[in-house]
Structure 1
Amino acid sequence: MIDQETLNGLFNKYEGPTVTACNRHDDAVVINLYVDDNLRWFQGHFPEQPVLPGIVQIDWAGTLARALMVGDNSFKQLINIKFKTMVMPNTAMQLELTYQADKGSLKFHFFNENTSFSQGSFKFIPL
């Protein structure tokens, strides 16, 4: 299992979440994240109320999935992407990744105890 320091190092400063914990459960990983208000994604998106862009959530899920589960398998497509609630600055949340290697399917879900933020699936082609 990759440690928190390595996972935090996957992102450029001011572009990624802070990984505070990572736990593996069979074919799933649950990663605790903190979305700091100093991330550059909040600048200008939107000036009155900063919101984390949905595409950034997809990038974070894909980056962490590659490091923890998928490896170098080729990306094929995104399916069933749903953005349910906006992610605001200074939000603690979890990312659950579930990988079915035989199907090349990785499901992601960003959530916390009160809210489901987004979810969807990546399809990969095994190398």
Structure 2
Amino acid sequence: MLENDFYTIVSSEIKEDTISSKILLNKNHQIFEGHFPENPVTPGVCMIQLVKEILEKTYQYNLQLSKISNVKFTALINPNVNQELLISTQVNKEDTLLKIKNVCTFTDSTVALKCNATFLVK
């Protein structure tokens, strides 16, 4: 689990089928020492895990990533430049699956990540 170590949820709300969260990255986290020194970049796998954890916390499910598609990293997420991120996740529940469309932006509305994914409810 990355919450409260790699990132903190500042706020989160659900409107209809969309979760909107504001998170704060821990720019002093040790992962940034190796990825990359003096020019930290948030690893893509950490961003996907962060989205999964927000879903699990919101719905109180244990989830397993089943499929991910249309992953587009459109801006480098440097925690020294953009420590605060806005995560918008549209969720469609189907039986034991959560299908999502996710967009991560900086506070200036620059899109940093877009992806579609399917999670299996365990």
TM class by shorter chain equals 0.7 to 0.9
* TM-score of the superposed pair, with normalisation by structure 2: 0.82
Pick from 45, 57, 63: which aligns with 2:53? 63
Tell me the secondary structure at the aligned position of residue 101 of structure 1: strand
Is the strand fraction higher in 1 or 2? 2
Residue 102 of structure 2 aligns with which residue? 108
Gaps of 5+ in 1: 1-9
Match of 2:113 among 113, 118, 121: 118
Q: Is the 8 A contact 1:95 1:108 kept in 2?
A: yes
Equivalent pairs: percent with the same residue?
A: 19
Match of 2:90 in 1: 98
Aligned-partner Cα distance in 2 for 1:34–1:74: 24
Aligned length: 117
**For the aligned residues, what is the CA RMSD?**
2.1
* Structure 2: runs of 5+ lacking an equivalent: none
Change (3 A) 1:35 1:82: same
Structure 1 position 67, deviation (Å): 2.0
Cα contact 1:69–1:99 (8 A) shared by 2: no
Q: Which amino acid aligns with 1:11?
A: L
